[in-house]
């Protein structure tokens, strides 16, 4: 099952090292394929370097796609949306 959500990067510094690390740790061991798209560039969300290379600053709009089994994909997407909504604890 493919799930797609568009989110706004709300934290002040954008997707810097700490948020990128949070995303990668959240996805560690996940059986889903997760990609993030920003400005026509799509990356593997399980790679910290790829996330950093997006250079998505505050108020950037990104697209998250989760592909996997229905329950796992839904849970993964919910967790990702939650960390974005909570500004990665900043």
φ/ψ of 31, rounded to 5, equals: -90, 5
Is 38 noted as a catalytic residue in this protein? no
Closest to 36 measured CA to CA, from 76, 73, 7, 71: 7
Catalytic residue among 13, 14, 16, 44: 16
Closest to 67 measured CA to CA, from 16, 10, 27: 27
Residues with active-site annotation: 16
């Amino acid at each position: 099952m493919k799930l797609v959500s568009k989110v706004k990067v709300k934290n002040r510094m954008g997707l810097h090292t700490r948020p990128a690390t949070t995303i990668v740790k959240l996805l560690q061991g996940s059986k889903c394929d997760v990609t993030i798209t920003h400005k026509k560039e799509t990356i593997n969300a399980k790679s910290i370097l790829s996330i950093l290379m997006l250079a998505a600053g505050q108020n950037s709009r990104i697209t998250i796609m989760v592909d996997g089994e229905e329950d796992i994909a839904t849970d993964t997407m919910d967790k990702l949306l939650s960390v974005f909504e909570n500004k990665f604890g900043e």
